[in-house]
Amino acid sequence: MSQFFLLMENIIELNKVTKKFGGITALNKASLHVKKGEVVGLIGDNGAGKSTLIKTLVGVYSPDEGDIIIRGKEVNSWNALKAREAGIETVFQDRALTPQQSIVKNIFMGKELRYPFGFIKEKKQINEANRLIREIGFTSKLINAESAVGNLSGGERQGVAIARAIYNNAELIVLDEPTNNLSLNETQKVFDFVLNVKKSNRSVLFIGHNIYHVYDISDRFVILDRGEVVHELNKENVSSPEELMKIMRQTIISH
C-alpha cells in the first residue's frame, strides 16, 4: 500500500445519517469522515447535534437512516462493541478512571496481561504502562506507572485515558470536550497528548466549545447546525480562531 493511499484512507465515514428522538430530528442526513492521522474538530452551538453525532459514531446510538463505513466497507447493525473492535475509543472526561488505583491498574483494568495460571504479569504491565505514558508525552520524573491517578492533574488524567485507549489498539480516539474545566497549563498538556497521538498516525475527533482550543489542535473543522453538517474547512484555509468563529456565525445565520 503506498504512503499516499495510507494518508488518504478514511478510518470511518458516516454517510447521510439521520437520528430522531420522537419528534426531534437530532441529526439530519449528516455526513462526516475521519482520515488516518488527522485531527478533526467538531463545532456548533448548543443542541446542534454534536453529542448525538459522536454517540452514533461510537455505536451508542444506531442511526435511523444512513450508512456507516469503516475503512471503506459498509457495516450493518452498528453498535458499541463493533466500534471498539474497529479501533474507535471514546475518552470521556474523568469518568471511567479509578482515582484510588495506579496508572498501570487503570490502563490494564479488565484486560490484564496474565500467565497461563492466571497470575498477572505485574512487571510487564508496569514496563508497558511506563512506555505508553512516555510515548504520549508524560515528561515529569515524579510520575510513573505506579503513581495513583487521584494525585494527577485533570490534564494528566486525560493522558491516562488516552494511554489506555492506545493500549486498546485505538485507531481513532474521540475526545468529548476534553479541555472543559481545565486550566491553561492542563489544556496544553492535553494538546501535547493529542499531537503525540497524531504523530503515531492515529486519528482524533475532538468536540469543543472553546473555538480557540478547537482551532489550535485541529487539521480540519466540521460545523454542525440543527442536525446538519453545514460547512467543512481545512485549517490552511482559516487564518485565525477569530476567522473560524466568524465563518461559523455566518454559516449558521445563513442556514
Ligand X SMILES: Nc1ncnc2c1ncn2[C@@H]1O[C@H](COP(=O)(O)OP(=O)(O)OP(=O)(O)O)[C@@H](O)[C@H]1O
Contacts with Mg ion, residue ranges (CB under 5 A):
50-51
Binding status of residue 46 toward ligand X by CB under 6 A: yes
Q: How far is the CB of 141 from Mg ion (least distance, A)?
A: 37
Residue nearest to Mg ion as judged by C-beta position: 51
Binding status of residue 21 toward ligand X by CB under 6 A: yes
Binding status of residue 47 toward ligand X by CB under 6 A: yes
Binding status of residue 187 toward ligand X by CB under 6 A: no
- Residue of 17, 30, 32, 48 interacting with ligand X (CB under 6 A): 48
Which grid coordinates belong to 103? 496508572
- Residue of 37, 41, 44, 208 interacting with ligand X (CB under 6 A): 44
Q: How far is the CB of 105 from ligand X (least distance, A)?
A: 31
The Cα–Cα gap between 112 and 167 comes to 11
Binding status of residue 255 toward ligand X by CB under 6 A: no
- Residue of 7, 8, 24, 113 interacting with ligand X (CB under 6 A): 24
Q: Which residues pair with 172 in a beta bridge?
A: 88, 203
- Residue of 35, 50, 202, 213 interacting with ligand X (CB under 6 A): 50
46 binds, among Mg ion, ligand X, none (CB under 5 to 8 A by kind): ligand X
Q: How far is the CB of 33 from ligand X (least distance, A)?
A: 19
Binding status of residue 26 toward ligand X by CB under 6 A: yes
Q: Which of the residues 51 through 110 are near ligand X (CB under 6 A)? A: 51-52
DSSP letters spanning 134-187: HHHT---TT--TTSBGGGS-HHHHHHHHHHHHHHTT-SEEEEESTTTT--HHHH
User: Which stretch, 29-37, 42-50, 100-108, 198-206, contacts ligand X (CB under 6 A)?
Assistant: 42-50
Residues forming contacts to ligand X in the complex (CB under 6 A) are 21, 24, 26, 44, 46-52
